[in-house]
Amino acid sequence: MAATTVSDTGRERAGGGAQRVVALVGPYLSGKTTLLENLLFATGAIARKGSTRDGTSIGDNSPEARKRSMGTEINSVTFEYAGDTWTILDCPGSIEFRQDALAALSVCDAAVVVCEPQPERAVALAPIFKALEDRQIPHILFVNKMDTAQIRVRDLLAELQTVSPRKLVLRQVPIRRAVTGGGEETTGYVDLVSERAYRYKSSAASDLIEMPAEVLPREAEARREMLEALAEYDDTLLEQLIEDVAPEKSLIYRDLHDEFGAALIAPVLLGAGEREHGVRRLLKALRHDTPFATATAKRRGLALNNGVVAECFKALHHGHAGKLSLSRVWAGTLSDGQTIGGHRVGGLFKPAGQKFEKIAQAQPGDVVAIAKIDELSAGLILSNSGIAPAADRPAPEPAVYAFAVKAKNRNDEVKLSAALHKLIDEDPSLSVEHRHETAEYVLLGQGEMHLKVALDKLAGRYNLPLDTAPPAVAYKETIRKGTQQHARYKRQTGGHGQFADIKVEIHALPRGSGFQFIDKVVGGSVPRNFIPAVEEGVIEAIKHGPMGHQVVDMSVTLYDGGFHAVDSSEMSFKTAARMAMQEGLPKCDPVLLEPILKVTIAAPNEATARMQRILSGRRGQILGFDAREGWAGWDEVTALVPEAEMDGLIIDIRSQTQGVGTYRAEFDHLQEVSGRSADKAIEQAKARAGTRG
- Domain residue spans of the chain: 113-287, 301-389, 401-469, 476-588, 593-689
Query: For residue 14, what pLDDT is reported?
Result: 38
Distance CA 407, CA 468 (A): 9
Burial class (CB in 10 A: 0-12, 13-18, 19+), 675: exposed
The top-level CATH class assigned to 593-689 is: alpha beta
Which residue type sits at 406? K
CATH domain 113-287 topology: Rossmann fold (3.40.50)
Q: Which residues sit opposite 329 in a β-bridge? A: 310
Please write the tens of the pLDDT for every residue from 419-462. Answer: 999 999 999 999 999 998 888 999 999 999 999 999 999 999 99
Common-topology check for domains 401-469 and 593-689 = yes
Alpha helix locations (H) across 202-307?
Answer: 216-231, 235-242, 249-261, 279-289, 293-300
- Kindly report the number of other CB atoms within 10 A of residue 51's CB atom: 12
Distance CA 578, CA 585 (A): 11
Query: What angle (nearest 5°) sits at the alpha carbon of residue 347, between those of residues 362 and 87?
Result: 40
- Kindly report the number of other CB atoms within 10 A of residue 54's CB atom: 7
Query: For residue 352, what pLDDT is reported?
Result: 59
CA atoms within 13 Å, Cβ hemisphere of 519: 15
Query: Phi and psi (nearest 5°) for 381?
Result: -115, 130
Q: What is the pTM of this model?
A: 0.89
- Kindly report the number of other CB atoms within 10 A of residue 116's CB atom: 22
Q: Which residues sit opposite 383 in a β-bridge? A: 309, 386
Cβ neighbours for 262, distance < 8 A, ≥ 6 positions apart? 138, 233
Query: For residue 354, what pLDDT is reported?
Result: 63
Choose among 428, 425, 413, 418: nearest CA to 465.
Answer: 413
CA atoms within 13 Å, Cβ hemisphere of 320: 2
Query: What angle (nearest 5°) sits at the alpha carbon of residue 414, between those of residues 408 and 419?
Result: 80
3-state per-residue secondary structure call for 416-465 = HHHHHHHHHHHCCCCEEEEECCCCEEEEEECCHHHHHHHHHHHHHHHCCC
Query: For residue 15, what pLDDT is reported?
Result: 40
Strand order in the sheet with 75-81: 75-81, 84-90, 19-25, 110-115, 139-143, 265-270, 167-170
CATH domain 401-469 topology: Alpha-Beta Plaits (3.30.70)
3-state per-residue secondary structure call for 87-116 = EEEECCCCHHHHHHHHHHHCCCCEEEEEEC
Select the CATH number that applies to the domain covering 476-588 from these four: 3.50.50.60, 3.30.230.10, 3.40.50.150, 1.10.150.120: 3.30.230.10
Distance CA 468, CA 408 (A): 9
Q: Give helix 235-242 / helix 249-261 axis angle, nearest 10°.
A: 140
Query: How would you classify the pairing of strands 139-143 and 110-115?
Result: parallel
Cβ neighbours for 493, distance < 8 A, ≥ 6 positions apart? none
Residue 553 Ramachandran class (φ > 0 left, ψ -120 to 50 alpha, else beta): left
Low-confidence ranges of the chain (pLDDT < 70): 1-17, 52, 54-55, 352-355, 494, 688-693
Contact status, residue 438 vs residue 543, Cβ threshold 8 Å: no
Query: For residue 11, what pLDDT is reported?
Result: 37
Choose among 485, 481, 483: nearest CA to 509.
Answer: 481
- Kindly report the number of other CB atoms within 10 A of residue 84's CB atom: 18
Contact status, residue 563 vs residue 527, Cβ threshold 8 Å: yes
Q: Is 2.40.30.10 the CATH number for 301-389? A: yes
Distance CA 653, CA 603 (A): 8
Q: What does the buried/exposed string (b/e) look like for 145-177 if buried means 16 or more CB atoms within 10 Å of the residue's CB?
A: bbbebebebeebbebbeebbebebbbbbbbbbe
DSSP state of 589: -
Contact status, residue 292 vs residue 16, Cβ threshold 8 Å: yes
Query: For residue 16, what pLDDT is reported?
Result: 42
Choose among 120, 103, 122: nearest CA to 26.
Answer: 122
Please write the tens of the pLDDT for every residue from 227-282. Answer: 999 999 999 999 999 999 999 999 999 999 999 999 999 999 999 998 999 999 99
State the Cα torsion 420-423-425-431 to the nearest 10°: -60
Strand order in the sheet with 204-209: 172-178, 184-191, 196-201, 204-209
Choose among 63, 9, 65: nearest CA to 33.
Answer: 65
Distance CA 268, CA 166 (A): 12
Query: Phi and psi (nearest 5°) for 586?
Result: -60, -20
Distance CA 630, CA 666 (A): 22
Distance CA 566, CA 139 (A): 83
DSSP state of 47: S
